[in-house]
Amino acid sequence: MPEIKAILGSVILTETPLSVDMKENADLMILGSRQGRVACRVRDHYYYKRWPYQFTIRSKVASGKKTELDKIIEGLGDFFFYGFADKEGRHLCKWFVGDLNAFRGWFTGYLRANGTEPGINQSNGGGGSDFKVFNYADIPGFILKEGDASFFGQMEML
């Protein structure tokens, strides 16, 4: 979680204009002045080795309750952090931060144009839930920033 917070701070925080600082007591703000709710997911290194440009979102659960995808499409969440653990499972080796508004626009536009939801349906194999697989390069404006383990070396130099 400390690595995720460091990345998110560098991606979604921006300095306020001097006038805002002086009048509103704010030095930093979240991009777009949104509340800044972030969904986070970190996957095992195994998945990075096989599918480094894909991400998954849970789309069905056996209980029938709302899924991550349902909540995103309904407008919940502002940003999406998705990362892959390194071989030891202690740090991140690759990650991206996505704009969920861009994802929602793309998803609903695709659905209207094609009559079907985008993404590839997959089962987790245990029968408890399904998910959709997406390639982040297919979604215009979605990626705010992506990086790898070298990001932390760059942070230490600042």
Backbone angles phi, psi at 36, to 5 degrees: 85, 40
pLDDT tens-digit profile of 84-126? 999 999 999 999 999 999 999 999 999 999 999 999 999 987 7
Select, from the ranges 19-23, 30-34, 154-158, the one with the highest average predicted confidence (pLDDT). 19-23
E strands in 37-139: 38-43, 54-61, 79-85, 92-99, 120-123, 129-135
Q: Which pLDDT score, from 0 to 100, does residue 156 have?
A: 46
Rama region for 63: left / alpha / beta (φ>0; ψ in -120 to 50; rest): alpha
Q: Which pLDDT score, from 0 to 100, does residue 65 have?
A: 92
Return d(Cα 97, Cα 80) in angstroms, integer. Answer: 6
Mean pLDDT score of the chain = 88
Q: Which pLDDT score, from 0 to 100, does residue 157 have?
A: 37
Q: Which pLDDT score, from 0 to 100, does residue 127 have?
A: 72
Whole-model pTM? 0.84
Tokens of 35: 């509340």
Q: Where along the chain do its domains lie?
A: 36-157
